[in-house]
Amino acid sequence: MKTAVISGASSGIGEACARLLAEFGWEVFLVARRRDRLDEIASEINGHAIDLDVTKASVEDFKCVRTCDLLVNCAGGAFGVDVVEEADVDDWVKMYNVNVLGTLRLTQIFLPRLIESQGCVINITSTAALGGYEGGAGYCAAKSAQRALTQSLRLEMKGEPVRITELLPGMVHTPEFSLNRLQGDADRASAVYKDVDRPLTAEDVAQVVLMVSNLPPHVNIDELVVRPVAQRAQHALFRGALNWHDSVHKPDSFLN
């Protein structure tokens, strides 16, 4: 049985990855801070909960994980939408810590096990890593740094049988991302997705994670941008109905 360690597994994309990988027979270790959420999900998928703050994680925290075939660095997020002129330095520190240093710590901890297993690292950055946008400087900076970490790591791992992938999602409608970014303001958070016809779901991103991790060990996807059809570019978000021919979403995995 292959083993996956997924950070940010208590909600959203990380949770969906944990559920889908478990469905496809992986043993899953779920990492995040909220023990109650982790326990609930872990018990449903026969996985293992490890509650910790990735910005403080150490090797000792993961003694129970003997082998690792896949590390998904998904813990992260955005805090605030302030313009540079008024940015809150504490928000920037929080974003750098979780998105960049959290990824760094878990990667350092698991690299020996991943090399041993000819495994795969998937870092969930964002299309925010591809360029700045108004009110996004702190998040874009953190995701750009996480992207740079991923690119350097891939080069440094030349000569090692380990795959390093950066997955850059565009708009994904998850229950907590925008709420956290907008300090719990539910109206503003739901306005982010207003009239967007089928933003990505966490499950869509999980399908991509499963696809990447299922490729043969010599096949490295360096980077992969995944956006909803309604979002052709960061600033080209279409709000309104799209003329879909299938009125009902087909839930079949594209791997089937």
Ligand X SMILES: NC(=O)C1=CN([C@@H]2O[C@H](COP(=O)(O)OP(=O)(O)OC[C@H]3O[C@@H](n4cnc5c(N)ncnc54)[C@H](OP(=O)(O)O)[C@@H]3O)[C@@H](O)[C@H]2O)C=CC1
Q: Catalytic site residues? A: 139
Q: Could you say which residues in the range 190-249 bind ligand X, by CB under 6 A? A: 202
Among 2, 177, 196, 206, the residue binding ligand X under the rule CB under 6 A is 177
Among 75, 101, 114, 230, the residue binding ligand X under the rule CB under 6 A is 75
Is residue 122 at the binding interface for ligand X, with CB under 6 A as the rule?
no
Contacts of 213 (CB under 8 A, 6+ apart): 4, 21, 69, 70, 120, 122
Instruction: List Cα–Cα distances, 251 to 20, 175, 207, in angstroms.
Output: 13, 19, 11
Which is nearer to ligand X, 176 or 223 (by Cβ)? 176
- Measured on CA atoms in the order 114, 34, 90, 136, is the torsion positive or negative? positive
DSSP states of 29-84: EEEES-HHHHHHHHHHHT-EEEE--GGG--GGGGTT----SEEEE----------G
- Give the span between the Cα atoms of 109 and 96, in whole angstroms: 19
Is residue 74 at the binding interface for ligand X, with CB under 6 A as the rule?
yes
Query: Considering CB distances under 5 to 8 angstroms, the limit depending on partner class, which of ligand X, ligand L7H2UBRR, none binds residue 76?
Result: ligand X
Among 41, 121, 171, 206, the residue binding ligand L7H2UBRR under the rule CB under 6 A is 171
Site map (CB under 6 A) of ligand L7H2UBRR, residues 126-165, x = contact = xxx-------x--x--------------------------
Query: Considering CB distances under 5 to 8 angstroms, the limit depending on partner class, which of ligand L7H2UBRR, ligand X, none binds residue 80?
Result: none
Between helix 202-214 and helix 12-23 the angle, nearest 10°, is: 50
- Measured on CA atoms in the order 201, 207, 212, 217, is the torsion positive or negative? positive
- Give the span between the Cα atoms of 17 and 200, in whole angstroms: 14
Which is nearer to ligand X, 40 or 116 (by Cβ)? 40
Which is nearer to ligand X, 56 or 160 (by Cβ)? 56
Instruction: Please report how close the Cβ of residue 8 comes to ligand L7H2UBRR at its closest, in angstroms.
Output: 13
Tell me 169's DSSP state: E
Query: Rule CB under 6 A: which residues touch ligand L7H2UBRR?
Result: 126-128, 136, 139, 171
